[in-house]
């Protein structure tokens, strides 16, 4: 129960921040007389998406530890797009550009929302790493590659990477280098459980020349 609540709390933080930013931007635009019907409609739709996502998150983690939960067919691109959507106001505020190096649309059988939560965690860590970085354009690069058996989704950033002395520990529960920023160290731990235990895939990390590079490997359905 405690772990479930901790995970929900962890996963609520980003959409909650996104909502907070949207509300502030709305006020700014209102006082600059930039709020027309279209803007208001868009604001409502985006906010409702975030709120619905937060509501789904409760259900996702209620069933997180159930062994017999229902699998469903889902489009991986849609899941990644949705994850980016959930962080969009944060990414804009931090001036981070998300670039798809290519798009391969595959359908997978599995736990759609959990995979989405995993992608959000990796994107969010990239955002954290880029936030403390000065200068240079801040970028997150996403690419897809498939072979006969698996799909590889790589998510890389140019935030400087992870030092060798801690890279073996980042998937441990409660390991965080963000003590001064309320890091819980739960993000990658739950991401690893989702990808490796629930989805029977692999979650890999390495450093590129620019920053950290995470690869989610998921089995394709026969």
For the sheet with 96-100, list strands across it. 96-100, 138-146, 150-157, 212-219, 202-207
Residues 110-149 within binding reach of ligand ATP (CB under 6 A): 121, 125-126, 128-129
> Does 110 interact with Mg ion (rule: CB under 5 A)?
no
CA proximity to 177, closest of 198, 153, 154, 160:
160
Q: How far is the CB of 160 from Mg ion (least distance, A)?
A: 16
> Does 178 interact with ligand ATP (rule: CB under 6 A)?
yes
Tokens 């890389």 belong to 156
Q: How far is the CB of 40 from Mg ion (least distance, A)?
A: 33
The DSSP string of 161-181 is ---TTTTTTTTSTT--S-GGG
Residues 194-213, one symbol each (x = binds ligand ATP by CB under 6 A, - = not), give -----------------xx-
Tell me how far apart the alpha carbons of residues 72 and 56 are, in angstroms, rounded to a whole number: 15
Binding site for Mg ion (CB under 5 A): 125, 187
Binding site for ligand ATP (CB under 6 A): 10, 121, 125-126, 128-129, 157, 159, 162, 170, 175-178, 183-189, 211-212
């Amino acid at each position: 129960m405690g772990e479930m609540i901790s995970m929900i709390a962890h996963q609520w933080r980003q959409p909650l921040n996104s909502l907070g930013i949207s509300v502030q931007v709305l006020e700014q635009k209102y006082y600059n007389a930039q709020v027309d019907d279209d803007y208001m409609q868009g604001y409502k739709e985006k906010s409702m998406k975030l709120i619905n996502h937060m509501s789904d998150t409760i259900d996702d983690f209620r069933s997180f530890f159930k062994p017999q939960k229902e699998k469903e067919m889902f489009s991986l691109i849609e899941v990644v797009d949705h994850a980016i959507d959930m962080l969009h106001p944060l990414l804009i505020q931090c001036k981070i550009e998300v670039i798809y190096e290519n798009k391969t649309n595959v359908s997978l059988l599995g736990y759609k929302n959990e995979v989405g939560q995993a992608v959000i965690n990796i994107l969010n860590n990239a955002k954290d790493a880029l936030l403390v970085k000065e200068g240079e354009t801040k970028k997150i690069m996403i690419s897809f590659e498939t072979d006969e058996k698996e799909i590889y989704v790589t998510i890389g950033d140019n935030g400087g990477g992870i030092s060798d002395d801690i890279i073996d520990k980042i998937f441990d529960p409660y390991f965080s280098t963000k003590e001064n920023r309320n890091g819980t160290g739960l993000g990658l731990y739950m991401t690893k459980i989702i990808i490796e235990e629930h989805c029977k895939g692999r979650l890999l990390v390495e450093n590129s020349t620019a920053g950290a590079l995470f690869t989610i490997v998921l089995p394709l359905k026969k």
